[in-house]
Amino acid sequence: MTRTPFIAGNWKMNNTPAETRELINELLPQITPAPCRVALCVPFVNITAAAGLLKDTGILLGAQNLHMQDKGAFTGEISAPMLRDCGVACVIIGHSERRQYFAETDETVNLKAKKALEYGLVPIVCVGESLDEREKNETDKIVSSQIRAAFSGITAVQAQKITIAYEPIWAIGTGRTATAEEANRVCGLIRAEIAAIYGNDTAQNILIQYGGSMNAQNCDELMAQPEIDGGLIGGASLKAEDFARIVNFE
């Protein structure tokens, strides 16, 4: 089974619209035409600026969150139809920072994934364990539980439209990263969990990114692993040269 690699940049809470235009203009000549699937997941206020520059480039526009309802009295929230109408193609759901700081739960991750699918957005569903959970040898249990919850009530056809990002929380923004072999092992565990739910055909088609501090120095080794289909890139996505190096991994 050949899966097309998917590299997504998560800008988090960085860059103004002006800085967005500057970074994208610097980045595009280095990654177009892209050798793999690429997305830039920008802050909400930068979506319009990014959309204009990414149009017809083949680079997908992504968001970092959405609400599980279409509309309503949810001050400060953004809905799936709003994102779709702005040209957004994919959306990060359940990032560890959303879980840690904004009370995201397995239940809300599931509801948001379903809402994204309803409006034709590609959900990038994040799972991963904390340092305490890893030190207690609970990685497999935690990750498997998160996968089961995230995919509850989702059909096999829908599941194949979802990208999973394994992001060990202890490796995000710390400069630490799992060894390539361990990252591959956990991504393989995730694929096995999907196979147990939906069967091997679905599992072999689903994309699994690694999201724990992939950078310009370690991307080749990580991307060489058979179970790793791409990366959810944080800090390195804010530097055009570094992100381009990851997109053009060898």
CA 183 – CA 59 distance, rounded (Å): 26
CA 204 – CA 227 distance, rounded (Å): 9
Kindly list the catalytic residues: 95, 167
Query: Do 56 and 83 contact (CB within 8 A), yes or no?
Result: no
Where would I find the beta strands (DSSP E) of 6-55? 6-10, 37-41
Give the residue from 192, 195, 193, 183 showing the smallest Cα distance to 225. Answer: 183
The number of beta carbons lying within 10 Å of the beta carbon of residue 241 is 11
Query: Do 171 and 212 contact (CB within 8 A), yes or no?
Result: yes
Query: Tell me, what DSSP letter sits at residue 155?
Result: -
CA 48 – CA 145 distance, rounded (Å): 36
Tokens of 192: 């096995």
